[in-house]
Structure 1
Amino acid sequence: MTHVTELAYVVYEVSDLDDWTHFGVDLLGMMKVEATADGFNLRTDERSFRWQIEQGAADDLVASGFLVESLEALAELSAGLAEAGFAVTDGDAEICAKRQVETMRIVHDPIGNRVELVTGHCDAQTPWASASLHGHFVTGQGGAGHEVLIAKGESRDEYLAFYLDLLGFKVSDQIVEELAPGIVADLIFLHCNPRHHSVALGDIPHPKRIHHFMIEVSDIRDVGLAWDRCLAAAQPVEMTIGMHPNDHMLSFYVFTPSGFSIEYGWGGLLIDDATWEPKTLEHLHWWGHQPAGAVAGQLAESAARVPVPT
């Protein structure tokens, strides 16, 4: 079966380009490259970009770019989508040049998210470098990272038919946890390569299309250093450092200037389809990942009890 091979890039519409430059480069350790007509690109590896930042009022996800291995595979995918009733349009020369890809087909998933199926996502002509990282961002075969999308009440059967049956994703696992009385997080995690998941979808109370995007680093020190930079800059933290039971990622969550979050992680699990068995878990977190406000209160109480030297 023809399928996508990676989450190649994401596009965000943001209201404050300067805040995003500071956030992406100074705090996260990305590399800012050439400006576009309405924003700029961020690199995390040898690709021309992984994040495209556009000026606008939405402060949300605009598009997700998924790489397909060949023109023949793209034609097969497009035909299957059209046969299933999805409107598929060709990306013109202007959008292909902006995304720095050879070919593009555009479709919207059942939730309404724009999906760009592409071939030939170009490498940059200059080396990648970060002024902040000891290691590097983990991309390669696993793509840019993962994104967690909000289902907005759409039927799981409908969006799984799109991502599994048409795009060729496979189920990694599912987590169902009651976060508070009557508030349930119900997420399903999907992979298209060894990265534990490239896309997760489900119902979480959230105003945006995207809850978070995960970027992974190769050196655990870079998680701690990014945590320190975010705290020093008073960047709003969603969740403290912790670890997930499904992908084993050690990470923290920090709010972007646009209100959704970035998960900054290390040590993600890789899937071998020959042996992997999907399961349903009951908890989103093994440990940590506490709300910033709750931890601030705990630390304040702890500080008040520090013994005074006599």
Structure 2
Amino acid sequence: MANRESLDIFGASSMGYAVIESNHLESWRSLFQDGIGLHLACDDEQAVAFRMDSHQRRIIVQRGRQEDFIAVGWQLRDQETLTEVLLRLKRLGIQAENSDPSEAAQRGVKEFWRIVGPKGMAVELFWEPLITDEPLTMLNAGFITGIAGMGHLAITSRKPQQMRRFWQEIFDARDSDHIVERIAGLTLDIDFLRVNERHHSIAIARLRDLPMDPVRTRIQHMNLLTISAGALTDAFLRCRKLGFEMAHEIGEHPNDREQSFYVMTPCGFEVELGWNALVVDEAQWQTTSYQGISLWGHRPEKTGTWRKLTTNLGNFGRGVRSLLKPEYSPL
């Protein structure tokens, strides 16, 4: 048996659930149930929750004022992996707090351990999800989950190196590739990290030579994968018919070859729904750098001059305001 110092947990973790706080529960229900096409698992005055597979909960939107993505549930393979992660956290001086039963039940897990991660986002560690065999009732034909998890997060940061350390030193994340994107005269560097066969579970974006963060929320987007081009197109048409703004219409990324669209959420971050993302073969994979985030498509729905001006001014204003407060990093 490998000793603890050399234990590699690559492939033993994945994104397990998402927790969002918002006072716009009705809009969230419309987006996820009627637009993206998830199964509505809970609907009351304080929260709405959704399924996409046998897990009792995958996305929870709880009532509150933050209007933000507040926690990601990070699933570990087994108790041994959890023990290893907790030991790493202790060595790094990061405190982990055990959940109470009501919190765990809300998230659809037996228990979890919470740490405060980069940008103040809670990372909730668990290994025993609550499973149900209740049939799914949803508009989408299905989602890709399994050992690679439910999706990925993209996060903007003024401390990208510390954020990379967090995912690499705690979860043995590996570099998948890098993209350089030019937006409104600025250069954006994006690093893609994987913790399993999914091309990336975390993407970290930073403005080159500018210590600003133009995104108000803790994440820039959350990604889910559906099972076919037809399911993707149907969800795109449903979201647009419901009146949700398309941040980026259907297009294809050069690195993971995923075809996807991005829809604006009631909190202001985006949800990306995609399909056909490649699965990494560790024996063959080589890290590559790309110019441009899209091979084709991914055009914004609103492209007028006034829209571009107000968007750029808004991003610049948020970037300037970000200079007035420190970005939290646990490392």
Give the TM-score, by structure 1 length: 0.89
Residue 110 of structure 1, CA deviation: 3.5
User: Among residues 146, 155, 162, which one is paired with 1:158 in the alignment?
Assistant: 162
Residue 296 of structure 1, CA deviation: 11
Large movers: runs of 4+ above 6 Å: none
Query: Deviation string for 1:17-62 (max 9, x for gaps)?
Result: 1111111111110011124672021111111111011011111111
Residue 295 of structure 1, CA deviation: 8.0
Question: 2 CA distance for matches of 1:56 and 1:148?
Answer: 23
**SS of alignment partner, residue 70 of structure 2:** strand
Alignment of structure 1 residues 1-310 onto 2, 5 Å: 1-2=8-9, 4-35=12-43, 38-130=46-138, 132-133=139-140, 135-151=141-157, 153-154=158-159, 156-181=160-185, 183-203=186-206, 205-294=214-303
Alignment length, in residue pairs?
Answer: 292
Q: Is the 8 A contact 1:150 1:208 kept in 2?
A: no
Question: 1 CA distance for matches of 2:279 and 2:305?
Answer: 34
Question: 2 CA distance for matches of 1:30 and 1:146?
Answer: 17
RMSD of aligned Cα (Å): 1.9
**SS of alignment partner, residue 115 of structure 1:** strand
Q: Which residue of 1 aligns with 2:327?
A: none
Residue 94 of structure 1, CA deviation: 2.6
Counting aligned pairs with the same residue, the percent is 28
Query: Deviation string for 1:56-82 (max 9, x for gaps)?
Result: 111111100111112222121111111
Unaligned runs of 5+ residues in structure 2 are: 1-7, 208-213, 307-331
Question: 2 CA distance for matches of 1:85 and 1:24?
Answer: 38
Q: Which residue of 1 aligns with 2:328?
A: none
Question: 2 CA distance for matches of 1:180 and 1:256?
Answer: 23
Residue 2 of structure 1, CA deviation: 2.9
Residue 226 of structure 1, CA deviation: 1.4
Residue 157 of structure 1, CA deviation: 2.2
Q: Is the 8 A contact 2:55 2:108 kept in 1?
A: no
Residue 125 of structure 1, CA deviation: 4.1
Q: Is the 8 A contact 2:178 2:289 kept in 1?
A: yes
Residue 180 of structure 1, CA deviation: 2.4
Q: Is the 8 A contact 2:32 2:38 kept in 1?
A: yes
Unaligned runs of 5+ residues in structure 1 are: 298-310
Residue 210 of structure 1, CA deviation: 1.0
Question: 1 CA distance for matches of 2:242 and 2:267?
Answer: 16
Q: Is the 8 A contact 1:15 1:258 kept in 2?
A: no
Question: 2 CA distance for matches of 1:232 and 1:295?
Answer: 21
Residue 109 of structure 1, CA deviation: 2.1
Question: 2 CA distance for matches of 1:189 and 1:269?
Answer: 14
**SS of alignment partner, residue 302 of structure 2:** helix
**SS of alignment partner, residue 157 of structure 1:** helix
**SS of alignment partner, residue 248 of structure 1:** coil
Question: 1 CA distance for matches of 2:67 and 2:123?
Answer: 18
Q: Which residue of 2 aligns with 1:308?
A: none
Residue 98 of structure 1, CA deviation: 2.0
Question: 2 CA distance for matches of 1:281 and 1:190?
Answer: 15
Residue 100 of structure 1, CA deviation: 2.3
Question: 1 CA distance for matches of 2:289 and 2:30?
Answer: 38
- AA aligned opposite 1:173: D
Residue 212 of structure 1, CA deviation: 0.9
Query: Deviation string for 1:164-190 (max 9, x for gaps)?
Result: 121222111111222122x22211111
